[in-house]
A and B are shown apart, each in its own frame.
Chain A
Amino acid sequence: SQQGEEDPQALSIQEGENATMNCSYKTSINNLQWYRQNSGRGLVHLILIRSNEREKHSGRLRVTLDTSKKSSSLLITASRAADTASYFCATDFISGGYNKLIFGAGTRLAVHP
């Protein structure tokens, strides 16, 4: 199965609420990244968190990383309709002597006005 798996697959909330998405992975990682994708468009990088970091913030985004549980979460606070998109985690790990970046299947977030 995939290295990174997001949970839930889909999330529907009202504007102003917080949205939390989770990512679990199987092998030790160097870093973990979160990306956003608006429908059918290219992915946009949100945050990169390294394996020795536990939390990172960027505006309304907060990412946590728990390497003991092999999991990460992305929190979007005070969500807006414009946050409607798919969110992907991507894990960076060593495979065959090279850094490898594996994407999960994503969480589809719908924020209703």
Chain B
Amino acid sequence: EAQVTQNPRYLITVTGKKLTVTCSQNMNHEYMSWYRQDPGLGLRQIYYSMNVEVTDKGDVPEGYKVSRKEKRNFPLILESPSPNQTSLYFCASSPGTGGRYEQYFGPGTRLTVT
């Protein structure tokens, strides 16, 4: 089954404790991205990757890091989480860049930073 998986689905952590949210897709998609969703703000893009070893900042990259060492995986790293990073996070993939193709979304990771 074609899908995007994220782990963990729920995470409660404390300020400053480094964490990684994993994302994996099995569709051989070139393009992957991370979004955060906050009430009333819709989805905002954090980082995106157009292919292996090619990543770039989205609209709200501060406080986040990513890497793309393999085509299928695109982890999101919070080196020193802060309470303002409490949010619902989505990973997405698509065959090509930007909005030319439909995006396939993971189930989401609800992160709480206390």
Where the two chains meet, the residues of A that have a C-beta atom closer than 8 Å to any C-beta of B are 2, 30-31, 33, 35, 40-45, 48, 88, 90-93, 98-101, 103-106
From A30, A42, A43, A88, give the contact of B99 (CB < 8 A).
A30
Q: Are B42 and A103 in contact (CB under 8 A)?
A: yes
Q: Are A43 and B42 in contact (CB under 8 A)?
A: no
Q: Are A2 and B42 in contact (CB under 8 A)?
A: yes
Neighbouring A residues of B103 by C-beta, 8 Å: 33, 35, 43, 45, 90, 101
| Chain A, Cβ-Cβ closest to B31 | A99
- Known A91-B99, A100-B99; contact A41-B108, beta-carbon cutoff 8 A: yes
Which chain B residues in 26-79 approach chain A with CB under 8 Å?
35, 40-45
Give A100 to B44 CA distance when docked, in angstroms. Answer: 11
| Chain A, Cβ-Cβ closest to B59 | A102
- Bitwise, B1-14 to A at CB < 8 A (1) or not (0) is 00010000000000
Q: Are B42 and A30 in contact (CB under 8 A)?
A: no
Q: Are A31 and B99 in contact (CB under 8 A)?
A: yes
Q: Are A42 and B105 in contact (CB under 8 A)?
A: yes
Query: Counting chain B CB atoms within 10 Å of each CB, which of A45, A100, A101 scores highest?
Result: A101
Give A33 to B88 CA distance when docked, in angstroms. Answer: 21
